[in-house]
Structure 1
Amino acid sequence: MYSTHNQAIDAASCDFGDLQSLPTLLANLPKRIDELPARIAQRHPTALALIENHRHLSYADLRDAIDTMAQQLRLMGVQENDRIMVINENCIALIVLMLAITRLNAWPLPVNARLTSAEIDRIRAHANPLLSIYTLEASPSAQQHAQHDHAQPLDCVAVDIGALAFTKASLNPRSLDNPLRLHEALPGPQNPHTDASQQCAALLYTTGTTGAPKGVMLSHHNLLFIAAVSSTLRRVTASDVVYAVLPISHVYGLASVCLGTLFAGASLRLAPRFSPESVCDALAHESITILQGVPAMHAKLIEYAQTHPERWHAPQLRFVYSGGAPLDLTLKRRAEAFYGMPLHNGYGMTESSPTIAQTRLDLPPADTSVGPPIPGIQVRIVGLDGALLKNGKVGELWVQGPNVMLGYYRDPLATQNTITKGWLKTGDLARQDENHALHIVGRCTELIIRAGFNVYPAEIEQVLNSHPDVMHSAVVGRPLASDEEIIAFIELKPGLHATPQTFANWCAARLAPYKQPAEIHLLEALPTAPSGKILKRALQQRFTDGN
């Protein structure tokens, strides 16, 4: 029998009210992410680690499953520095596979099964993985990819983790040079072959704003630093049950939600896809204490719960968090009134593992700032010339600390352009207020120059989102001969009807003339990534070419 609530574990008992606790926390970090389950199992073997519908794994079960899967992968020929692609949606098998792969010093490459075959093939062509493994039981999409790729069944390990299939590369993936050698000349990480904590623990592909896939190499220390710090700032304990619907193939779901939970010895309730009905059921019946999501998830959950009030019951919920995309003030206020507690906010990116800033439990802001930088990192706001700017000025955000990636896989030039003397150039425009909190204004590449004025899409989106009929919105720029014009896209709340003129009038009363959209398009649904983030690049491709 497993404990309904795990016993108290001191893994994350310290807090950062006194930053002197940070060096102690970091000094006690394990070297590798695959050590986390055994660390808890040594003291509390029956504590519940993973929940996937009717399948439960204790920390001892998880430790044993990782050991057995690592042996199985070794027999399949997996060696150090091999890339192993896992086509997945959230499930126990995904976590076992990722930790078993790292046990062999190979690199897990998790890919969300909701990507198209063409998108997966582009990643596969760049990474050249030895194996592709498909989490069949948790994901109908993974089943479709497995059928498309003529995958073979993979025998289950001794501990039941769900059905799997695999394909093997036709070409030798070891024909590529060791990619980490490309980064030895860069300041920062030590030689990954001599320091286990600096070996690559996850290869995560991100398209960013360019559309070309880039493989971000994150070390064990990168991920464990974020797991420890974010878990501690949230005061996660072994009695918590964390709802994990954010894709673990995305860095937010991997580092903060998954590894942060395992670091604290808490329980992770895995959900493959977001649905308001499923979230309501889990909150009502499964003692969920922590809910993390992107803003669109919170908006849709609130809308559903308010139209189905009989379904809403969250007796154990103590912490709700928004990240992965900008949070507008209207949604924040609505969410806080609905949940009856602060909606905490944060900011990060794949290249920073991901967390850079996070609001604090004891000082939740009234505005939509993402809070001060997390302990252990440094930030600076710089102008176009790289010079430091004063507080309150908008410029590009640079970050330095244990969360900065090893580099981009097989792309040393992009790495050198992104990391300068240990500073990660985020590509995001931000300002820092007198309380050290960061305010993210938008992407440098999304800045719109209209009639000689700087226009930040987030400001217009906040105005649009404040309209009672709007679920969420996105604003992009469209180039003209010698200027740019502003194009807005809106997804309405379910069952509502409006015209673009309604929102043009709304903006006219609230925005300066140069900030008002030239066009407003109403869409059934805004395009989103599997993580729930709105894909502005897809909107630009669809509407800026005149189609």
Structure 2
Amino acid sequence: MKGGAIHIGRLALAKLSEPIDLAEIVAGLPGRIHQVADSYVAEFPDRMALIEDGASWTYRELDRRVTEIATVLALLGIRASDRMIIVSENCIALAGLLLAASRLDAWAIVANPRLSARELDQIRDHSGARRMFFACGVSKEAAAHASRYGAEIRQLGPLAEIGVSALNESATAEPVEADPAKQVAVLIYTSGTTGTPKGVMLTHENLLISAKTTAHFRRMDADDKVYIVLPISHIVGISLLIMTLMVGATARLVSKYDPAALAKAIAEERVTILNGVPATYQRLLEYKTVAGLKQFDRGSLRLIAVAGAPLDLDLKSRVEREFGLSLSNGYGITECSPGISGVRFDAPRNDQAVGTLLPGIEARIKTVDGKPAPNGQVGELHVRGRNVMRGYYRAPELTAKVIDADGWFNTGDLARFEGDCLYIVGRTKEMIIRSGFNVYPAEVEAVLNSHEDVVQSAVVGRSINGNEEVVAFVQLMQGSPVQAADLMAFINPQLTSYKRPSEIIVLDTLPATSTGKILKHKLAESLQGA
């Protein structure tokens, strides 16, 4: 291809001479995410939809109970286009609340219970949420948050032990949009490079399109059982839930990752699809060694996929040898609902490629100065498609910085194409991806800098065992007796676990330019081999 070529995602399946385009794939999609299971409720009502430890819902029960939950939510004052926060680990209650919000056209904000009080307060305040709901029976962290907010523990239709916060009387509902391309389904908060929360507005169409294309190229059907351990508080977990119900399959919901439990589920529960981040598989292999197992029983497992962090080729080969399956790499981001590309189920690769574009997605590579980059050259990746977010909530200026007038979204990631295959080379942003979770240095730095003895700080990532860890460099007031351990104790209550630095290094001064800009690349270089 010549310079400036636009790559377009089209899906060619085996035994088909012509690729299938997006229109054919998404024909008949409903207008709202809660409607994806409607046909299975009518045709296969007793098929299992959701399973968690000790409980399950069939498709008939899912339909009836989501309706009951929606009725209770309405009685609690939740209106169309209100924002409602659901603080929960993966569980049936979370799925029920999420789909019930869709029934009411409310915007669901799913928050990880392991967020700190400060982080959750930021989301509540920025979103102007009408109410907060806490799955207290599933998570002690959720229960602690519920207690702090003075939430009343109630029965919400079929759901027990749900904390319900006081009604925010000042909350204003956004305009309701009949068009699924405009009506927001979920608001996902990322802290952003500024260190303050950004609410990514994903519409019903965004989520439905992304889920359907991914399910299509994975050849998912009603016989699948998907192990969902990636948090539904993040976009991959939400998308997995939607695509599973979309094909009439079974979602096995897992609240917290335990490699021993995963190995048992694969061997005994007929799990067919597993999605994870590299750390998911790294810990699984470590468990095998510690437990003295000779070989995992792969049971009915047919597809294993990874995304969310750079994939180490040694880890990839070890996982593939263990399960006798190709570990399919993929690439996506929250703002794209999330899927952008993936290695095809029937076209495995032995390199670090993140595959070809999903159907309906266009991509182009631009140099740092904005010029089109020829095929094979590294540049900044821009994408366009019906999966791209509506924008950042209450931040039109931030939206305008990343989405241009023609709908092209700047991912901020460095990439290249080799033919039609995409490779992610690095990140123009400073974001650190730790076990699949996004960590933005500015947020961690803001917390560190709030300590009275800290002059300035700089946070960088360090590669370790197919993952990244957070490392903080700190310059203290002259003569300060504060130690790294003191700083760690100061920030730990203010940051969720994956954002906390693995190490804090105190320096007399931080390297900087003549204008005072900290030279983070020098700090990162100092960690190499450390």
Within 5 Å, which residues of 2 pair with 1:79-158?
A: 79-157=79-157
1:280 Cα deviation (Å)? 1.2
Does structure 1 residue 254 correspond to structure 2 residue 238?
yes
Q: Which amino acid is 1:305 matched to?
A: K
- Work out the number of aligned pairs and report it: 451
Q: Distance in 1 between matches of 2:393 and 2:460?
A: 35
1:70 is matched with: 70
> Does the alignment pair 1:55 with 2:59?
no
Deviation at 1:370, TM superposition (A): 0.4
- How much has 1:259 moved relative to structure 2? 0.7
Distance in 2, matches of 1:170 and 1:273, equals 31
* Aligned residue among 161, 164, 174 for 1:163: 161
SS of structure 2 residue aligned to 1:445: coil
Query: Which of the pair has the greater relative contact order for Cα pairs under 8 Å at 6+ separation?
Result: 2
8 Å CA contact 1:431, 1:441 repeated in 2:
yes
CA distance in 2, matches of 1:332, 1:545: 41
Q: Is the 8 A contact 2:225 2:273 kept in 1?
A: yes
Give 3-state SS (helix, strand or coil) of 2:289's partner.
helix
Residue 247 of structure 1 contacts residue 531 of structure 1 at CA under 8 Å; is this kept in 2? no
What residue number does 1:291 align with?
Answer: 274
Matched, 1:442 2:426: yes
RMSD: 3.1
Alpha-carbon shift at residue 207 of structure 1 (Å): 1.6
Q: Which amino acid aligns with 1:355?
A: G
Partner of 2:411: 426
Query: Which amino acid is the alignment partner of residue 363 of structure 1?
Result: A
Counterparts of 2:147 and 2:320 in 1: how far apart (Å)?
44
Structure 2: which 5+ residue stretches go unaligned?
1-11, 442-457, 467-487, 511-530
Q: Shift of residue 401 of structure 1?
A: 0.3
8 Å contact from structure 1 (residues 332, 368) kept in 2: no
1:325 positional shift? 1.3
Of 323, 346, 349, the match for 1:365: 349
CA distance in 2, matches of 1:375, 1:293: 22
2:256 corresponds to which residue? 273
Stretch of structure 1 that moved more, 162-171 or 360-369: 162-171
Change (3 A) 1:232 1:117: same
Aligned residue identity for 2:109 = L
Does 1:225 find its partner at 2:209? yes
Distance in 2 (CA, whole Å) between partners of 1:544 and 1:360 is 47
8 Å CA contact retained: 1:37, 1:60: no
CA spacing shift, 1:313–1:446, aligned 2, 3 Å: same
| Paired position in structure 1 for 2:32 | 32
Task: Using the TM superposition, give the Cα deviation of residue 488 of structure 1 relative to its aligned residue in structure 2, in angstroms.
Answer: 6.9
Residues 225 and 438 from structure 1, CA distance in 2 versus in 1: closer, same or farther, beyond 3 angstroms? Answer: same
Contact 1:218 1:405 in 2 (8 A): yes
Distance 1:33 1:198, change over 3 A: same
TM alignment of 1:174-253, pairs within 5 A: 174=172, 178=174, 193-253=177-237
TM-aligned CA deviation for residue 350 of structure 1: 0.5
Corresponding residue for residue 312 of structure 1: 296
8 A Cα contact 1:128 1:169, kept in partner? no
Q: TM-score, normalised by structure 1?
A: 0.77
Matching of residue 339 in structure 1 with residue 323 in structure 2: yes
- Bigger mean CA offset, 419-428 vs 310-319: 310-319
**Against the structure 1 CA distance between its residues 67 and 541, is the aligned structure 2 distance closer, same or farther, given a 3 Å change threshold?**
farther
TM-score (norm 2): 0.79
Q: CA deviation at 1:128?
A: 1.3
Deviations 1:413-471 (Å, cap 9, x if unpaired)?
A: 0011110120010010101112x111111110349xxxxxxxxx99xx9xxxxxxxxxx
**CA distance in structure 1 between the partners assigned to 2:202 and 2:339 by the alignment:** 13
Long gaps (5+) in structure 1: 1-13, 181-191, 448-456, 462-473, 477-484, 494-522
Amino acid of the residue matched to residue 66 of structure 2? I
Partners in 2 of 1:269 and 1:404 — Cα distance? Answer: 28
Cα distance in 2 between the residues matched to 1:374 and 1:239: 23
Q: Is the 8 A contact 1:430 1:441 kept in 2?
A: yes
* Contact residue 154 and residue 160 of structure 2 kept, 8 A: no
Contact in 1 for aligned 2:268/2:299 (Cα 8 Å): no
Shift of the 541–197 alpha-carbon distance from structure 1 to 2, 3 Å rule, reads farther
Cα drift, residue 281 of structure 1:
1.6
